[in-house]
Amino acid sequence: MTHASASNKQRLLVTGAAGRVGTVLRPYLRERFDLVLFDRVAALDATHDEQVVVGDLGSYDSVSSAMEGCDAVVHLACVHGLDLTFDASLEGNVRGTMHVLDAAVEHGVRRHVYTSSHHVFGLHDAKTFDASHAPFAPDGHYALGKAFGELAYRSHGMRHGWRTMVIRIGNAAPRVPDARAGRMWVSARDLADLVRIGLTSPDVEFDVVYGVSNSQHPLFDNDRAHALGYEPRDWAEDHWADDFLSDADMPDELGGRFVGGAYAAHSPVPTGTK
């Protein structure tokens, strides 16, 4: 189903549009799509042709209202943090994802990009990690929610015949903070290119790819993304932060030996602890 708009562009719902990743992606996405910006706070830098919808993933009616009339969805919204508890993660990362999926069924939206995370592999040793064979090893409640989201999208996609790209984002900071992040860093324009492929390629069915730019020592095999036409333009080594930390300089609390870094090195708050 394609919905007409005044600009003849497809209408794209972006959840978490006021967040860091949503904010840097939107200038690229608005070139091709009419954007509906959904978040708990208004995107203050929205342009006149972007529709701002202040709502909550925890409210199905709120999500459904934002979804109405859309052709596709980029689901970015989530809650995260080293001390995120299981209870605090449920509303946004589990129930909220189900609201997005159910609203898409209601309104016949069949094209999706879901942003997952490298943290679904976070507890693996970075030196011996093999992404092509590694099982999930979530490094906290945030990562558990992302793993749930991947499975939920696979279930809905197979049942309803959707085209879905899951992007496991590496490190999307403006500059590369350390050597671990350098193996999985992604620039805004490269990530936007990958999102566009997920939304437009006729070859996408249910595909899992990695949101990473070029690196001299990549952590992830991104062959499927390249097969779909992804050609990253940026190199991590060209974007080191001024205070960039080498492997040898990283303190233990940053978790340099883990795929998930600080999340894997950090002891999570026990389930049920407020």
Strands 10-15 and 72-75: parallel
* CA pair distance 195, 200, nearest whole angstrom: 9
pLDDT for position 2? 43
* CA pair distance 172, 191, nearest whole angstrom: 9
pLDDT for position 32? 95
Q: Under 8 Å CB-to-CB from 191, ≥6 apart: which residues? A: 21, 24, 25, 167, 169, 172, 211
pLDDT for position 269? 65
125 beta partners:
258
> Would you call 238 helix, strand, or coil by DSSP?
helix
pLDDT for position 4? 43
Catalytic residue among 28, 114, 142, 230: 142
Structure tokens at 5: 């708009």
* CA pair distance 86, 71, nearest whole angstrom: 32
* CA pair distance 163, 157, nearest whole angstrom: 7
* CA pair distance 35, 17, nearest whole angstrom: 9
Catalytic annotation present for 142: yes
Give the domains, in start order, of the chain with CATH numbers.
10-265 (3.40.50.720)
pLDDT for position 7? 67
pLDDT for position 5? 52
Closest CA to 253 of 261, 241, 243, 245: 261
Long-range pairs, 28-32, Cβ under 8 A, ≥24: 28/188, 28/189, 28/192, 28/193, 28/196, 29/74, 29/192, 29/195, 29/196, 32/196, 32/200
Mean pLDDT, each 10-residue run in order, the chain (274 residues): 62 97 96 96 87 96 98 97 94 97 98 98 96 94 97 97 98 97 98 98 98 97 97 98 96 96 86 55
